[in-house]
Amino acid sequence: MRIGDERVREATAQQLRRDFGNITFKERESVNEFGIRITNLANNLHSLGDNITDVEIVKKLLQVVPDRLNQAAVSLEMFLDLNNVTVEEAIGRLRAFEERTKPKQVTDAMGCLMLCEED
């Protein structure tokens, strides 16, 4: 019975490893949402005994960033030692870049164009 249990665990870990290799940002997905997905996947791999490291997760994260975050990913790769960066730190830095580059809102909640006092 335990042999079958071990085979199921190995098959599940193999599928999760395949999912990790194929993970990408979904259209209009935020860094925070993607960070949750990739860390959940890594936690599931850990629970099955797979020794995935933070370095692998950070490198994968930086490899699959969408074009809007490409500049931030290049900066992180150039200026940080990726062997010493935690997943949380990488996600936090990408989130900061994402927030900084968001387009400014020019309409209110009802879709009306916001004007300044002079207009």
Residue 26 domain flag: yes
Task: Report the Cα 38 to chain-centroid distance in Å.
Answer: 6
Q: Is the pLDDT of residue 43 over 90?
A: yes
In a domain? residue 105: no
**DSSP state at residue 108:** -
Please tell me whether residue 119 adopts helix, strand or coil conformation.
coil
- The pair of structure tokens assigned to 29 is 């997905």
117 found inside a domain: no
Tell me the mean pLDDT in the region 82-96.
94
Q: What token pair was written down for 48?
A: 């099955």
Whether 115 is in a domain gets the answer no
Question: Is 118 part of a structural domain of the chain?
Answer: no
* Count of structural domains, the chain: 1
Average pLDDT score over residue span 37-66: 93
Tell me the three state secondary structure of residue 64. coil
Confidence band of 118 (pLDDT split at 50, 70, 90): low
Residue 85 predicted with pLDDT over 90: yes
CA 94, CA 114: separation in Å to the nearest integer? 29
Report the share of the chain in percent with pLDDT over 90: 69
Q: Could you tell me the residue range of the domain that residue 77 belongs to?
A: 2-100
Q: Alpha-carbon distance 83 to 112, whole Å?
A: 48
Of 52, 43, 49, the closest CA to residue 5 belongs to 49
Residue bearing the bigger pLDDT, 7 or 115:
7
Kindly state whether residue 110 falls inside one of the protein's structural domains. Answer: no
Asked if residue 77 is part of any domain, the answer here is yes
pLDDT number for residue 7: 85
